């Protein structure tokens, strides 16, 4: 048996306890700390709590490594440009959404690795290479205009108006960060600076971006926010709504109320088809028209060609990607609406295969991300068989790379690739998100008590990996599971903080009683790195 040591750190005002005890068997443990030498078992079973699978741990390691790279390093975020779904903004944002799910569901009692990573991703998404595309896009997209022109002035402020395909993700990430960690540094006035040129700077903070988005959604007659000028996409408008929901939870405001106005617009303009459930491509503001499979018209001279291509089956505006993206995020605020459409979406797009996988119908919008988005949706809605079959297809089809840096799907930024850099992050999200998990993150954010309850700190990651870290409030038990990372021998010390010093706490490793901690708000436990170990710290 690996020797396990315990250091007790006294709470302020308590007696000093700095004795280090080497414990090799249950008898010596009991003798060393004065505990009852009789048999004792933890009241909880660690295996009954959420945990990261080996593949999920591999993807976590990779995305944490991605966030840790220099801010101006966009390796593994490569894109053909910044105008499609391979753009930097999407890969950065969905990396943050994946990390948020892991923090909330598998590792809520250990934040020191994921919190700084999400903050770093926010810094990265604020860099000019991520948003400078807006200068060109702000002039308009000719195919979206009635006269096939680009009638708008060039703008350099990437969040001041429209461009919700960027600002929505910035706000969503910042408010996830505030909700998960109660860190309001992005509320500091001037904390966000967009510099187009030395003499042209746009200064914001979290509240300012929330206000800009809210004003547009409330004041626009159609109660949506444009991505490109004249085009409102159903997917992108989910992100400001969820940012409002989180902002209200942490700031005591009522920004989320505007979502009902957007929902009325969403339904009345059939941004999902009332018969098929299919998510529309977009709403065209000037044309007051929704572009969809049932209405494949831009309201310009391209319409005849588009109708012909639809009729001949060359293109389709039905999309598992659009359904998956909109459905996953809309489920966090309109769950019933999304759940009613899942049978329709599944019947139209999804086919299980005899080898335990599944295939999705091909599409025009963005076929390379359809497996990731639809797997996200299936998991969020609790159809785990469909999710796992889609993940099995991805594992067999996409270029899977697993090494010391973790697990990811290396998808070259070329149109012939079966996936994209975004696919990698979507698969990661689908893999870790439990049924209703994304809804829970936004509907039940961490409360005040969460930030004072027992937690792990001082973990030597990635030398040792944490597969689970949770505090079961009803049983007053901290539960954690470890496994070797870059080291496979020796020991490491893990700190426990936030213990109630008025209670006594039993510390178990692998169901063996290590100690009883009294009159202390913290302890240090020595964990072996020779294999997996479970830790339980429970109040008596």
**Mean pLDDT calculated for residue range 127-141:** 97
Q: What percent of the chain lies above the pLDDT cut of 70?
A: 93
Closest C-alpha to 100, from 425, 457, 462 = 425
**Mean pLDDT calculated for residue range 377-390:** 98
480 vs 468: CA distance, rounded Å: 5
Convert 421-438 to b/e letters by CB count within 10 Å (16 or more is b): bbbbbbbbbbbbbbebbb
What CATH topology corresponds to 4-44+463-539? Immunoglobulin-like (2.60.40)
pLDDT interval class at 81 (50, 70, 90): confident
Do the beta carbons of residue 224 and residue 265 sit within 8 Å?
yes
3-class secondary-structure state, position 506: strand
pLDDT interval class at 21 (50, 70, 90): very low
Q: So where are the chain's domains?
A: 4-44+463-539, 54-443
Q: pLDDT at position 79, please?
A: 79
Rounded to the nearest integer, the mean pLDDT of the chain is 92
Give the tokens for residue 169: 């993700």
Q: pLDDT at position 40, please?
A: 78
Q: Is the CATH code 1.10.287.990 the one for domain 54-443?
A: no
Residue 239 phi/psi, 5-degree rounding, is -70, -45
Closest C-alpha to 174, from 212, 121, 225 = 121
Q: pLDDT at position 346, please?
A: 98
33 pLDDT more than 90: no
324 vs 370: CA distance, rounded Å: 8
147 pLDDT more than 70: yes
**What's the predicted TM-score (pTM) here?**
0.93
pLDDT interval class at 35 (50, 70, 90): very low
H or E element in which residue 193 lies:
strand 192-197
194 pLDDT more than 80: yes
412 pLDDT more than 90: no
32 vs 354: CA distance, rounded Å: 58
The better pLDDT of the pair 411, 21 is held by 411
Q: pLDDT at position 18, please?
A: 28
5 pLDDT more than 90: no
């Amino acid at each position: 048996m690996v020797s396990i040591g315990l250091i007790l750190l006294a709470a302020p005002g308590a007696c000093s306890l700095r004795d280090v005890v080497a414990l090799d068997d249950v008898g010596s443990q009991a003798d060393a700390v004065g505990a009852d030498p009789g048999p004792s078992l933890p009241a909880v079973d660690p295996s009954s709590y959420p945990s990261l699978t080996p593949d999920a741990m591999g993807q976590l390691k990779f995305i944490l490594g991605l966030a840790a790279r220099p801010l101006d390093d966009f390796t593994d975020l490569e894109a053909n440009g910044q105008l499609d779904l391979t753009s930097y903004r999407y890969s950065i944002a969905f990396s943050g959404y994946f990390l948020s799910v892991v923090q909330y569901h598998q590792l809520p009692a250990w934040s020191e690795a994921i919190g700084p990573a999400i903050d770093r991703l926010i810094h990265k998404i604020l860099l000019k290479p991520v948003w400078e595309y807006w200068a060109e896009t702000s002039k308009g997209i000719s195919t979206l205009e009635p006269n096939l022109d680009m009638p708008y002035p060039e703008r350099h402020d990437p969040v001041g108006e429209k461009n919700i395909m960027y600002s929505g993700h910035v706000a969503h990430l910042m408010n996830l960060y505030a909700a998960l960690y109660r860190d309001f540094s992005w509320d500091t006035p001037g904390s966000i600076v967009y510099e187009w040129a030395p003499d042209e700077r746009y200064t914001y903070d979290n509240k300012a971006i929330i206000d800009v988005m809210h004003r547009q959604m409330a004041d626009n007659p159609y109660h949506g926010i444009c991505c490109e000028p004249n085009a409102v996409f159903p997917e992108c408008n989910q992100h400001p709504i969820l940012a409002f929901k989180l902002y209200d939870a942490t700031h005591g405001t009522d920004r989320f109320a505007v979502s009902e106005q957007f929902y009325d617009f969403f339904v009345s303009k059939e941004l999902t088809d009332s018969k098929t459930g299919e998510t529309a491509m977009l709403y065209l503001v000037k044309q007051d028209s929704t572009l969809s499979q049932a209405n494949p018209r831009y309201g310009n001279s391209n319409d005849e060609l588009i109708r012909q291509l639809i009729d001949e089956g060359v293109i389709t505006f039905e999309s598992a990607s659009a359904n998956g993206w909109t459905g996953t995020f809309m489920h966090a605020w309109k769950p019933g609406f999304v759940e009613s459409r899942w049978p329709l979406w599944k019947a139209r797009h999804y086919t299980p295969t005899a080898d335990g996988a599944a295939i999705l119908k091909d599409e025009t919008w963005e076929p390379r991300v359809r497996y990731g988005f639809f797997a996200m949706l299936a998991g969020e809605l609790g159809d785990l068989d469909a999710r796992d079959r889609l993940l099995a297809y991805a594992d067999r089809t996409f270029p899977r790379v697993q090494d010391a840096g973790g697990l990811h799907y290396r998808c070259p930024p070329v149109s012939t690739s079966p996936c994209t850099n975004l696919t990698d992050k979507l698969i990661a999200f689908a893999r870790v998100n439990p049924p209703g998990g994304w809804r829970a993150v936004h509907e039940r954010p961490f409360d005040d008590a969460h930030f004072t309850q027992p937690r792990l700190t001082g973990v030597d990651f990635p030398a040792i990996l944490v597969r689970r870290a949770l505090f079961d409030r009803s049983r007053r038990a901290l539960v954690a599971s470890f496994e070797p990372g870059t080291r496979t021998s020796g020991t490491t010390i893990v700190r426990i903080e936030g213990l109630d010093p008025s209670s006594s706490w039993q510390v178990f490793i692998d169901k063996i009683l290590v100690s009883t901690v009294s009159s202390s708000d913290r302890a240090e436990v020595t964990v072996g790195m020779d294999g997996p170990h479970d830790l339980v710290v429970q109040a008596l």
